[in-house]
Structure 1
Amino acid sequence: MHILDDTDRAILHYLQEDATLKTRELAARLNLSYTPVYERVRRLEKEGIIKKYVALIDREKVGKKLMVFCNIALKEHSLAMGEKFVEAIMAIPEVLECFNISGDYDFLLKILVNDMPEYQRFLMQKLGSLENIGSTHSLFVMGEIKNQSEIQVVQSRD
């Protein structure tokens, strides 16, 4: 793991706040010259600390009003069946996130759809068509309390 200094952490903070910032703007905020800031950003990208730059979309303004967390239990726990399930999930656009979890279920999916009828179609036609699903349990989001994408980068204590 790369040890991040205060400048690296500041760069990450500013870019998470606004990924459209140009290197010159970042340098001005950090009170540094262009070249060292440019080199630090490139290093953070090369090391995979900065994975990619994205635009965050207001889901409701694009018609995705229903957010569902769906727990999935598989019927069979072989490596081949697990890989087949993951490959199928990766191809379903309504699934925004998928986590392999412990406990009573094997996977947790975060799903966005327009409304309940669309979720029912999704459940029956897409998830229902996957052969290794033993059971599902859906949780419907009634309201978002906190939805944050910024990761607070703190000093490592090694």
Structure 2
Amino acid sequence: QSPCWRRIQRLKDEGVIRSQVTLLDRKKVGLNTQIFAEVKLNAHGRSNFTEFTEAIRGFPEVLECYVLMGSVDFLLRIVTSDIEAYERFFFEKLSNVPGIQEVNSIVALSEIKSTTSLPLV
């Protein structure tokens, strides 16, 4: 075992390295459309929050979900094959999640920067 391997193993054991993954080009696998959805819940109780987050975790189309402060409660990053697939996702899944008051969908036209690298100096 090399010193490098031991250091990587230690970082994994300490939880600094959460996982090792392969990054795919979403367009090359047919996921050509990226949407950001701002979601507002109709109430802010713990049960609404829990129900919403559990539902979102079950949708493979949702790659990221953030809790926000301000006029909306959540920001979702969603990928689908095309806008019609997003429309199906929206009407068949997202809009059926209990507690949603409003969804504002924003279609990304192009991607200027996308990275998973952290700014470690």
- TM class by smaller structure: over 0.9
Q: Which has the larger radius of gyration?
A: 1
TM-score w.r.t. the length of structure 1 is 0.74
Aligned pairs, number: 121
Structure having the larger proportion of residues in helix: 1
TM-superposed CA distance for 1:36, in Å, is 2.1
The amino acid that maps onto 2:98 is E
- CA displacement 1:52-78 (0-9 Å, x = unmatched): 000111111111000000000001111
Q: Distance in 2 between matches of 1:37 and 1:63?
A: 37
State the match for 1:54 in structure 2.
21
State the match for 1:19 in structure 2.
none
- CA displacement 1:13-44 (0-9 Å, x = unmatched): xxxxxxxxxxxxxxxxxxxxx53222211111
Q: Which structure's relative contact order is higher, taking Cα pairs within 8 Å and 6+ residues apart?
A: 2
State the match for 2:106 in structure 1.
139
TM-superposed CA distance for 1:132, in Å, is 0.5
State the match for 1:121 in structure 2.
88
The amino acid that maps onto 1:95 is V
TM-score w.r.t. the length of structure 2 is 0.96
Out of 42, 45, 60, the residue aligned to residue 12 of structure 2 is: 45
Contact kept? 2:12, 2:18, Cα under 8 Å: yes
Structure having the larger proportion of residues in strand: 2
The alignment's C-alpha RMSD in Å is 1.0
The amino acid that maps onto 1:141 is A
Contact kept? 2:65, 2:76, Cα under 8 Å: yes
Gaps of 5+ in 1: 1-33
Contact kept? 2:51, 2:98, Cα under 8 Å: no
Query: What aligned pairs does 1:67-78 form with structure 2 within 5 A after superposition?
Result: 67-78=34-45
Gaps of 5+ in 2: none
Query: What aligned pairs does 1:23-42 form with structure 2 within 5 A after superposition?
Result: 35-42=2-9
State the match for 1:87 in structure 2.
54
Contact kept? 2:35, 2:105, Cα under 8 Å: yes
The amino acid that maps onto 1:92 is F
Q: Distance in 1 between matches of 2:43 and 2:31?
A: 32
Query: What aligned pairs does 1:89-108 form with structure 2 within 5 A after superposition?
Result: 89-108=56-75
The amino acid that maps onto 1:99 is Y
Q: Moved runs in structure 1, 4+ residues, more than 3 A?
A: none
